[in-house]
Amino acid sequence: MAGKRSRRVRKRHVTIEDLARHLNISKATVSLALNNSSLVAEETKRRVLEAAQQFGYRPNYFGARLSRGKSDMIGLYILGGTEKQCNWTLPSSWMFYHPILKAVSEELSKHGYRFNLEVVSVEQATKQGVISSVIQEGSLDGMLLVVQDDIDYSFLDVVEERQFPFVVLNAKVAENISSVKIDNELGARKAVLHLVERGHRRIAHLCGPAKDTNAIERLRGFQDAALEAGLDWDPSLLYYGDWKRDSGWWAAGELLQLEHRPTAVFCANDHMAIGVMQRLQEAGLKIPDDLSIVGFDDTELCQVVVPRLTTVRQPVDLMGALGAQAVLRQIETDSYTVTHTNLEPELIVRESTAYVLE
């Protein structure tokens, strides 16, 4: 039996022109009256306001602001991956991005700004000029760009050329563009030195994708800390993952094949660390008695797994808030002042790391 469909006609938005035609006065007079201008007689103001209420007139948000040369809109662009596969949709990445989006939204709302979220691939930014085009068209008052990849950022030259309010989050891509990021190298150093303090001398590292900025910095921090502690660097203990739990599972399988296994593993994110942990436990090893594990991010999963995961906590919410404040400061002071902020991560010690028994 076919059901009946009711057709509903969308109600048209009432404009200033509609009010002017109804009252038989000019659009300019209506606009002045709605803005309570002293140039319009009180009786005319009364008639305009009554008509606006009668017909349900609402001012156009964007039109009103663009008429003042402002949109009160900030672009929040996430850059990374390809058009077919963007890393930000990974569970581990979403746990990273969500606090940033929340902090940016809250900070902008305090100052009467909205943000427009866009996810852009590397190809769209570098070859198609999507981001530079948006900057030049003037529809935004400023922009925050969250980056992942170690690529050529010369497409952002337009930022300095136009003195456009702009802040990069999660990396420093150029000296002449403001940035707020996490000190990944320091976080990795804290993780490694924690293991060294507990007697570990043979430490493996599972890093992220080879071209990912965060992974590169954490690997550098790991290597510097190993050198500082006088550890023997063994290239066979270095593995590359893809931020996913499955790559941690695979890396743990490789470790199990080694004749001389490490006593600890530092993983560049929590998801891979949990994959390592689960694979080793299924093989009959005990964490941390047989092998200590440290992650990076401090996601909620760290306190769900058994044993709870020692990790490095990133102040990503603070990064988002400070980034929003920086771009608003550039807008409000009407000056292109470049600042760089490097936030310190915190080592969170839980039960997945132990002292090495002599």
Domains and CATH numbers, the chain: 16-59 (1.10.260.40), 73-182+316-345 (3.40.50.2300), 184-314 (3.40.50.2300)
| Full-model pTM | 0.79
C-alpha closest to that of 253 among 234, 272, 233:
272
Q: How far apart are CA 203 and CA 194, in angstroms?
A: 11
Confidence of residue 82 (pLDDT cuts 50, 70, 90): low
Q: How far apart are CA 39 and CA 204, in angstroms?
A: 76
By DSSP bridging, strand 311-313 and strand 346-348 are antiparallel
| Mean pLDDT computed over every residue of the chain | 88
Query: Number of helices and strands (H, E) in the chain?
Result: 13, 12
Confidence of residue 9 (pLDDT cuts 50, 70, 90): very low
- Give me 351's structure tokens: 């039960």
Give the SS3 label for residue 180.
Answer: strand
Task: Kindly report, residue by residue over 154-197, the tens digit of the pLDDT.
Answer: 999 999 998 999 999 999 999 999 999 999 999 999 999 999 99
Task: Kindly report, residue by residue over 255-289, the tens digit of the pLDDT.
Answer: 999 999 999 999 999 999 999 999 999 999 999 99
Contact by Cβ (8 Å): 190, 347 = yes
Q: What is the pLDDT of residue 59?
A: 67
